[in-house]
Amino acid sequence: MRIIQVEERDKRGYMDLLLLADEQENMIEKYLYRGEMFALYDDDLRAIAVVTDEGGGDFEIKNIATVPAYQRMGYGKALIEHIVRQHRESGRTLYVGTGDSPLTLGFYGRCGFVHSHTVKNFFVDNYDRPIVEDGKQLVDMIYLKREL
């Protein structure tokens, strides 16, 4: 298994996988170029993540996705552990914002994140169409955090 940091010019090549975690391309473009992108390979591509520096020691995972055929095999968690190791010296807290969906909240809980705060109506205010996950429309953004 190897994790690489993706060069600026190669980032768009991962768009299909980025869209799995965030279905609106113009929302992805808001953070793609100011963030660092990591790609995990195990033979072929397994998972990607984008992390931004929010200042004051705060970092945020803006996007994380594992190729569907390789989900639940530990790749998402391995990427998060890599991000934590990479930012431990300069960072204080790693945040992630997600919809109120048991699918993603379960994953982040297993990766050591706890509840931080909620941004009311984030998904209805920022996306053109309703975002539905697991049959439920997402409304508020739930922020979780893990100390670095």
**Chain residues that interact with ligand COA, rule: CB under 6 A:** 20-21, 47, 64-66, 71-77, 98, 103-104, 106-107, 110
Contact 28, 15 (CB under 8 A): yes
What is the closest distance, in whole angstroms, from the C-beta atom of residue 116 to ligand COA in the complex?
14
What is the closest distance, in whole angstroms, from the C-beta atom of residue 92 to ligand COA in the complex?
21
Nearer of residues 9 and 120 to ligand COA, judged by Cβ? 120
Nearer of residues 50 and 148 to ligand COA, judged by Cβ? 50
Nearer of residues 66 and 148 to ligand COA, judged by Cβ? 66
Contact 78, 41 (CB under 8 A): no
- 117 backbone φψ class: left, alpha, beta (φ>0; ψ -120 to 50): beta
Strand order in the sheet with 44-55: 2-6, 36-42, 44-55, 58-66, 93-99, 141-147, 114-119
Contact 124, 140 (CB under 8 A): no
Nearer of residues 71 and 93 to ligand COA, judged by Cβ? 71
What is the closest distance, in whole angstroms, from the C-beta atom of residue 61 to ligand COA in the complex?
8
